[in-house]
Amino acid sequence: MTPSDHHEPELGGDEALAAEYVLGVLPASERLDVARRIDADIEFARLVEEWEARLSPLGEFYVPVEAPSAVKQALDRRLFAAAVPAASRDRASWWNSLGLWRGLAVASVVALALVVGWNLQPPVEETPSPRFVASLENPETDVRYLALYDEAARTISLSRLDGAAAAGQDFELWVIEGDEPPASLGVLGDADHLEVTPSEDLQGKFAAGAVLAVSLEPEGGSPTGQPTGPVVALGNLRSI
């Protein structure tokens, strides 16, 4: 620290406590005290909310990961099973699973309708310069890729600048559009130059602002269709 640091103003009092709670740096006992105070003290609760609002854009860096369906089933049991009389519980779970299957059937019809809908849509009008670049990196890792998406050729050219997956693991490339779950663009082989051709239904996801991310996965790629390992590099597409 430089000497001038000592004259820098710092956040104090309730404002500091609110910010530290939101940031998450407090020990367990203090977090508990603060949580109680939020319930009891409207003024203080407002300070906490202001800090939540200030820092919330950082939440955009949480990469969505699809949760296993068992989680929702367990959640439903936890929240709603108590309402079912004990005698009919077996039947209820049978009905629940029927409901689940119905839900899946509906979802697949909807998915089909979406695919059909896409196919029926007229081709998107081409912009004059339909090319995007992204520099994929993460200061915590040495993995770096440069990606170029050419909309006319419908290919992503990837150059690996640094980093490699350990033996028995693979890098997988994902495209993320807004809060949508990541869509896989495939496993990246151990080559410094690669070309990836996204499937037809993913073409629409490539636009300025969309995120490309590389995650570390078991050999052969994610077994779940969603990233399961850490994101070792990411960056957003910029129009060039």
Partner 1 sequence: MTPPDISKLIVRTSLRDRAAFDLLYRQTSAKLFGVCLRVLNDRAEAEEALQEVYVKIWTKADRFAVSDLSPISWLVAVARNHAIDRIRARRMKQTGLDEAAEIADPAPGPEALAVAGDEGARIHLCLEELDADRAAAVRGAYLVGESYAELAERHGVPLNTMRTWLRRSLMKLKDCLER
- Nearest distance, CB of residue 233 and partner 1, angstroms: 9
Segment 197-216, which members bind partner 1 (CB under 8 A)?
209, 211, 216
- Nearest distance, CB of residue 36 and partner 1, angstroms: 13
- Give me the sheet containing 169-176, strands edge to edge: 183-188, 169-176, 211-218, 231-236
Q: Residue 117 interacts with partner 1 (CB under 8 A)?
A: no
Q: Please tell me the count of residues contacting partner 1 according to CB under 8 A.
A: 66
C-alpha to C-alpha distance for 107 and 223, rounded to whole angstroms: 21
3-state secondary structure of 153: coil
How far the first Cα of the chain sits from its last, in Å, is: 41
3-state secondary structure of 206: coil
Which span sits near partner 1 by CB under 8 A: 112-120, 163-171, 194-202, 230-238?
230-238
Segment 94-113, which members bind partner 1 (CB under 8 A)?
none
Listed in sequence order, the residues at least 6 apart from 58 whose beta carbon sits closer than 8 Å to its beta carbon are none
Q: Residue 93 interacts with partner 1 (CB under 8 A)?
A: no
State the DSSP H helix or E strand holding residue 49, giving kind and residue range, or none if neither.
helix 42-55
**Footprint on this chain of partner 1 (rule: CB under 8 A):** 1, 5, 8-12, 16, 19-20, 22-28, 31, 35, 49, 52-68, 70-72, 74-75, 78-80, 134-135, 137-141, 179, 181, 209, 211, 216, 226, 228, 230-232, 234-236, 238
